[in-house]
Structure 1
Amino acid sequence: MNSTAPKHINLHTFAVADGQLVLGNMPLSRLAQRVGHTPFYAYDRQALTQRMQQLRQAMPADLKIHYAMKANPMPAVVQHMATLVDGFDLASAEEMKVALDTPMPAEHISFAGPGKRPLELSQAIAASVTLNIESAHELETIVKQCECLGLNAKVAVRINPAFELKASGMKMGGGAKQFGIDEEQVPDILKRINVLGLDFQGFHIYSGSQNLKADSIMEAQQKSLQLAVQLAEYCPSPIRKLNIGGGFGIPYFPGDTPLAIEQVGEALASAMALTRQSLPEADVIIELGRYLVGEAGIYVTRIIDKKISRGQTFLIVDGGLHHHLAASGNFGQVIRKNYPIAIGNKMHGEALETVNIVGPLCTPLDILADKMTLPKAEIGDLVAVYQSGAYGYTASPTKFLSQPDAREVLV
């Protein structure tokens, strides 16, 4: 383990044997041989399963847990998640294709996003996927597509609540937002849905993401449930699906403390019991992406050069920001911080050195580690970037400077 492992961050998701990181019961160097080349992402199916088991134990028994595929839409990962979760939430027609290739029934799949194209809406209607309506215009477009297809649409209203998820890494509710319909406009939308005769399912209330504060999540969940109860009188039919979003974060940096999910689960159980009195037919759903898969993956890249520049050591690797934008610090960070990193084939190296790990791109932005103390590494060694199971490869500018692609494996 590297000597600067951030406090509080659990880097024991993966085993270590004979000085090597182990995924899927395979030492990292052998896994690299199996994959055939670096860089690559590796996701551990056992870690995914264990995370879901822990979450189930902490959450209310009657809570439905959906996987937000945008976090990691790799088909093999989605296939595995289909055996663990109660539903999928999508953000594109391509994700819908992947989801429909799994055993997950379409009735447990929903589609959100502020700019769904008419063709995407048509595909979702034909597949019986629930559409989360994001605007009045989108509602009317859905109706036109229904007329063309001769089918009805399953719809839910995505609400932009007046409140926000406090201490959230990315706020997606409260104030003026491109996401969803402002809560004060929802009654009119519901009346329109009733007139149009669409198959109303319920609400989708998503207020933020990457939150490590249990109190903030508990408050947002309680307000979301209360908001649904307040709006129920305007609904054209009883609420059957009540998606109160997610927001569960994972620790990335020094000082980050893992989310107290037991505390969240206890509070949610009490809130759901009260809500059930008013909304007896509603399945309460939480939608999680990063929390389910983020810690189950690593990004692996090989050292191809080592140089000294004015007293600083640089390890130049064959991957970088074009594969892992978030780890480079260019995906929402205001002040760049190092992701947890290890020399994956020298986990117990005693000789240490302070290094900068940089990618092969012709830009000073292509940096994976800034002045990090790690076991002494040489050309050919493998650098492993932790917390890489979510918003990694598909959230990165993979065509930037026409570099070779990375691979992804589920082990």
Structure 2
Amino acid sequence: METPRHAPQRQFAVADDCLRLGGLALTRLAERVGATPFFAYDRGAVAARVAMLRAALPSGVLLHYALKANPMAALAQHLAGLVDGMDVASAAELRIALDAGVAPAAVSFAGPAKSHAELRCAVAAGALLHLESEGEMERVAETGAQLGLTPRVAVRINPNFELKHAGMRMGGAALQFGVDEERVPAMLQRLGRLALDFVGFHLFVGAQNLSAGAIAEAQSHSVNLALRLAAHAPAPLRLLNIGGGFGVPYFPGQCELELAPIAAGLERALALLADTAPQARLVLELGRYLVAGAGIYVCRVRERKLSHGQVFLLTDGGMHHHLAASGNFGQVIRKNYPVAIGNRMAGGPRETASVVGPLCTPLDLLADRVELARAEAGDLVVVFQSGAYGPSASPAAFLGHPPALEVLV
């Protein structure tokens, strides 16, 4: 078990009243960690997820891990041996990817408002910079000149279409991300006069989507748009990153994403690229889809409390560790993540209870009136689907409570 940062990941099976992660029963895992709250991530579950995806998709598609989903160093190192590259959005994430052993040429750096220091780090490392604006293009060229290097760049396109049914919209509107598609030809013309190595395009139009049809449609539009704009490029298209958007089910009524329609669309895209841009490699950029299901968040009940007939389980964890589970990370209508009393998985009385943390705000709510095994002080609350957007996406400093541990098992 490794604890390079703080937090775990998840794949679980119920047996003998215990939740198991990485072969360890939950109670034993909690003893090994030594304290709650903690995140635990299952390396076997991550590897199985990547293998499943590779088996379902065409072999010509490259898989990149979006490090923002979970930047735990040990997890990144594990994933480095499973994927074809990593996508980062800060100098800190760039260091994590490089320290994990990812080749600099397989690291891409996206995000608006990159600092001068970040540009210098990326250019010096040899990472691929995704240009988010014409101004950034000029700054990257200046940085390359200062360092005596030719920066590798891709233009991030903000297309006129959107990813339908996306949980988060990142294209097809007035946004801080990318260059509006109608501005790209002029930008490419200017890029050809600068000391920049044009590699390709990046499109990321949405996230957390469970509609295979919508994803396949957006991918088709992305490939066709990139090929049209490649006619204006100063060099042949060598890489096309069409983002991800693959969602995972968190809530009742949601189902796993169907991969067959997406795979069929990608087969057509690869054939089209082979005919029109034979040097181009097609990249999928996935984060949540690879790691969310491999992680759990575990906290301990400190007290049972009854208020106006409602049971509250007061725990040592909360939104400062797991903002997404509290409903405050992009949910329009708050819904409960899958939650259980981990050491009482079968049998015994059940009740409706709310799971809350120690923060002085009513937003500190991990589960709102859900059916659970009756819990007492000392019992363990488990929040599933917690492998993505956990500690690094949460207000850990709020009120000064200790951080959650993270472990990879």
Calculate the TM-score normalised by the size of structure 1: 0.96
Tell me the residue number matched to 1:249.
247
Q: Identify the residue that residue 22 of structure 1 maps to in structure 2.
A: 20
CA displacement 1:305-332 (0-9 Å, x = unmatched): 1111121111000000000001011111
Partner residue, 1:141: 139
Q: Distance in 2 between matches of 1:231 and 1:238?
A: 11
- Whether 1:392 aligns to 2:390 is yes
**Aligned residue for 1:311?**
309
Say how many residue pairs are matched: 400
Match of 1:46 among 44, 47, 61: 44
Match of 1:99 in 2: 97
Measured after TM superposition, the shift of residue 259 of structure 1 is 0.6
Of 372, 375, 378 in structure 2, the residue corresponding to residue 374 of structure 1 is 372
Alpha-carbon distance, 1:35 to partner: 1.0
Q: Secondary structure at the match of 1:348?
A: coil
**1:261 maps to which residue?**
259
TM superposition outliers: structure 1 runs of 4+ over 4 Å? none
Partner amino acid for 1:353? E
Tell me the CA shift for residue 237 of structure 1.
Answer: 0.7
SS of 1:177's equivalent in the other structure is coil
Match of 1:355 among 353, 356, 360: 353
Partner SS for 2:361: coil
Superposition CA RMSD, Å: 1.0
Q: Deviation digits for residues 240-291 of structure 1, max 9, x if unmatched?
A: 1100010000001111121101221122112221222111000000000000
Q: State the Cα deviation string for residues 91-110 of structure 1 (Å, max 9, x = none).
A: 11000000001221111110
The answer as to whether partners of 1:316 and 1:358 remain within 8 angstroms in 2 is: yes
1:115 paired residue among 97, 113, 116: 113
52, 55, 58: which one aligns with 1:57? 55
In the alignment, is the contact (CA less than 8 A) between 1:19 and 1:347 conserved in 2? yes
Corresponding position of 1:299: 297
- Please state whether the residue corresponding to 1:234 is helix, strand or coil: coil
2:7 aligns to what?
none
Give 1:17 deviation, angstroms. 2.5
Quote the Cα distance in structure 2 between the aligned partners of 1:263 and 1:49. 23
Offset from partner CA, 1:49-94 (integer Å, 9 cap, x none): 1100110011111100000000000001100000110000001100
C-alpha separation in 1, matches of 2:77 and 2:42? 13
Q: Does 1:232 align with 2:238?
A: no
Shift of 1:361: 0.7
**Counterparts of 1:258 and 1:329, CA distance in 2:** 20
Q: Name the SS for the 2:193 alignment partner.
A: helix
Unaligned 5+ segments in structure 2 are 1-9
What do the CA deviations read for 1:210-241 (whole angstroms, capped 9, x no partner)?
A: 00000100000000000111011111111111
Q: Which amino acid aligns with 1:39?
A: P
Corresponding position of 2:324: 326
Distance apart, 1:197 and its partner CA: 2.7
Sequence identity of aligned pairs in percent? 57
Q: How do 1:194-213 and structure 2 match up within 5 A? A: 194-213=192-211
Following TM superposition, by how much is the alpha carbon of 1:16 offset from its aligned partner in structure 2, in angstroms? 2.0
SS across alignment from 1:56 = helix
Deviations 1:20-67 (A, max 9, x none): 101111111111111111000000001101100110011111100000
Match of 2:277 among 276, 279, 296: 279
**Residue pair 1:168, 1:210 contacting (<8 A) in 2 also:** yes
Instruction: For 1:403, give the aligned amino acid.
Output: H
The one-character-per-residue Cα deviations of 1:356-382 (angstroms, maximum 9, x if unpaired) are 111011111111111111111111010
Hey, what does 1:187 align to over in structure 2?
A: 185
Q: Specify which of 122, 126, 129 is matched with residue 128 of structure 1.
A: 126
Which residue in 1 is equivalent to 2:4? none
State the shift of 1:350 in Å. 2.8
**2:224, 2:169 → 1: CA distance?**
20
Return the match for 2:287 from 289, 297, 302.
289
Q: Which residue of 2 aligns with 1:365?
A: 363
Distance 1:211 1:205 in 2: 15
Letter paired with 1:27:
A
**Alignment check: 8 A CA contact 2:11 2:22 kept:** no
Could you say what secondary structure the match of 1:46 adopts? helix
Give the counterpart letter for 1:146 in structure 2: G
Deviations 1:332-355 (A, max 9, x none): 112211110011111113311111
Separation in structure 2 between the aligned mates of residue 15 and residue 329 of structure 1, nearest angstrom: 25
Q: 5+ residue gaps in structure 1?
A: 1-11
- Is the partner of 1:249 in helix, strand or coil? coil
CA contact (8 A) 1:226 1:275 kept: no
